[in-house]
Amino acid sequence: MHIRKNKPWNLPESSATCEADFINRRRFLKAVGLGSSALLGQSLTHAATYGFPPKVNPEFRADGLEPTDYDLIKGYNNFYEFSYDKGEVQDLANRGWQTEPWAIEIKGHIKRPQKIDVNELIKKAGGIEQRVYRFRCVEAWSMVIPWDGFQLSTLIDMVEPTEKARYLKFSTFFDPNSAPGQNGGSIDWPYVEGLTIEEAKNELSFLATGIYGKALPNQNGAPIRLVVPWKYGFKSIKSIVKIEFTNSRPMNTWQALQPREYGFYANVNPTVDHPRWSQATERIIGSGFLSKRKDTLMFNGYEEQVSHLYEGLNLKRNF
Ligand SMILES: Nc1nc2c(c(=O)[nH]1)N[C@H]1C(S)=C(S)[C@@H](COP(=O)(O)O)O[C@H]1N2
Ligand SMILES: [Mo]
């Protein structure tokens, strides 16, 4: 039996592969004349190519923050279906895992249940646009990411929820042959996440099909993933195969793993520490060898757009 020292919930940034290690590895690969794709023989076919290049939506600019380098966004990943090691995900997610064609099933309390090809879905949604969002992982690091995709509310309107629909439950693919992490570990696969329908209808909730004007790399959740920028990164579930409109609150993967540490809401909140580390500041990925830190903002800087969703809710208890 293979005993894992690092369970996923025991992975604050300090015990995960640190950025410096990762960058040194890249330098090494470059120095020996091998980009990672050359080394690994990656087939760079990406799904959901419909709609590129997208138009930039100037209303979503993350206060003009400089976006993180593309190489870091696609090389420093949490995707436990492939590995617990952030620097290894890129390789493992590109060894034959097929993200095209890809269908999504949309079901539950809606008038128009359907199973739809992802490119067809993007077409129906009216195409894609680019938005720059802050991204804050619960492990206290952050990036700024130019996402391409469409607003989740467009999909919600398309399927016509009934009165009974109060939550959205999202599921990731399950394919242990392609995703080695799904052969074991502590997570009860597939990875699932949830939002209230009000959260899902908020204009910030986004379905991403690309980054920096290019189709989503496999390791970032090809061909389509959720992006909820005011919540910790784990809510932004990758490689979605199913969206279910439910009446009761779905249990999400991280809460199921460690309910004392991870809740349903997972709103970014600098005043509520993780039981094992502070959430007051964050390490800025790509800010140099001695990474800079900055103060974490309430709702990750999106307080104006989302605080009304939580009026009357005790955010210390509903973390
Ligand atoms: N299916 C799935 N979705 C996932 C994860 C995962 O392990 N599996 N990790 C989450 C976490 S913890 C983070 S921080 C982000 C990382 O997204 P990125 O690799 O594109 O930066 O994806 C989230 N979505
Ligand atoms: Mo995360």
The string of pLDDT tens digits covering residues 118-148 is 999 999 999 999 999 999 999 999 999 999 9
pLDDT band, very low/low/confident/very high, at 45 (cuts 50, 70, 90): low
Instruction: Please give the pLDDT value at position 193.
Output: 98
| Distance (Å) from CA 318 to ligand 1 centroid | 22
80 lines ligand 1 (CB under 6 A): yes
191 lines ligand 1 (CB under 6 A): yes
Does residue 65 surpass a pLDDT of 70? yes
Residue whose Cα lies nearest atom 16 of ligand 1: it is: 78
Instruction: Please give the pLDDT value at position 152.
Output: 99
Q: What average pLDDT does range 254-273 have in this prediction?
A: 97
| Distance (Å) from CA 106 to ligand 1 centroid | 21
Q: What is the pLDDT of residues 283-300, one digit of tens each?
A: 999 999 999 999 999 999
Does residue 39 surpass a pLDDT of 90? no
81 lines ligand 1 (CB under 6 A): yes
Closest ligand 1 atom to residue 89 Cα is 19
Q: What average pLDDT does range 294-318 have in this prediction?
A: 97
Q: What average pLDDT does range 76-91 have in this prediction?
A: 97
Q: What is the pLDDT of residues 146-181, one digit of tens each?
A: 999 999 999 999 999 999 999 999 999 999 999 999
| Distance (Å) from CA 113 to ligand 1 centroid | 27
296 lines ligand 1 (CB under 6 A): no
| Distance (Å) from CA 77 to ligand 2 centroid | 9
Of 18-32, 284-298, 301-315, least confident by mean pLDDT is: 18-32
Residue whose Cα lies nearest atom 12 of ligand 1: it is: 234
Q: What average pLDDT does range 186-208 have in this prediction?
A: 98
| Distance (Å) from CA 135 to ligand 2 centroid | 9
78 lines ligand 1 (CB under 6 A): yes
137 lines ligand 1 (CB under 6 A): yes
Q: What percent of the chain has pLDDT over 90?
A: 85
The separation between the first and the last C-alpha atoms of the chain, rounded to the nearest angstrom, is 35
Residue whose Cα lies nearest atom 11 of ligand 1: it is: 234
pLDDT band, very low/low/confident/very high, at 243 (cuts 50, 70, 90): very high
Beta-carbon-side half-sphere exposure of residue 244 (alpha carbons within 13 Å): 15
> What pTM value is reported for the model?
0.89
* Mean of the per-residue pLDDT values of the chain: 90
Does residue 221 surpass a pLDDT of 50? yes
Instruction: Please give the pLDDT value at position 9.
Output: 46
Q: What average pLDDT does range 232-253 have in this prediction?
A: 98
Closest ligand 1 atom to residue 219 Cα is 19
| Distance (Å) from CA 190 to ligand 1 centroid | 13
Does residue 271 surpass a pLDDT of 80? yes
- In three state form, how does the secondary structure of the chain look? CCCCCCCHHHCCCCCCCCHHHHHHHHHHHHHCCCCHHHHHCCCCCCCCCCCCCCEEEEEEEHHHCCCCCHHHHCCCCCECCCECCCCCHHHHCCCCCCCCCCEEEEEECECCCEEEEHHHHHHHCCCCEEEEEEEECCCCEEEEEEEEEEEHHHHHHHHCECCCCCEEEEEECCCCCCCHHHHCCCCCCCCEEEEEHHHHHCCCCEEEEEECCEECCHHHCCCCEEECCCECHHHCCCCEEEEEEECCCCCCHHHHHCCCCCCCCCECCCCCCECCECCCEEEECCCCCCCCEEECCHHHHCHHHHHHHHCCCCCCCCC
Domain range summary for the chain, segments of one domain joined by +: 13-310
User: Residue 86's Cα: distance from chain center in Å?
Assistant: 14
Q: Which CATH superfamily is domain 13-310 in?
A: Oxidoreductase, molybdopterin-binding domain (3.90.420.10)
220 lines ligand 1 (CB under 6 A): yes
Residue whose Cα lies nearest atom 21 of ligand 1: it is: 77
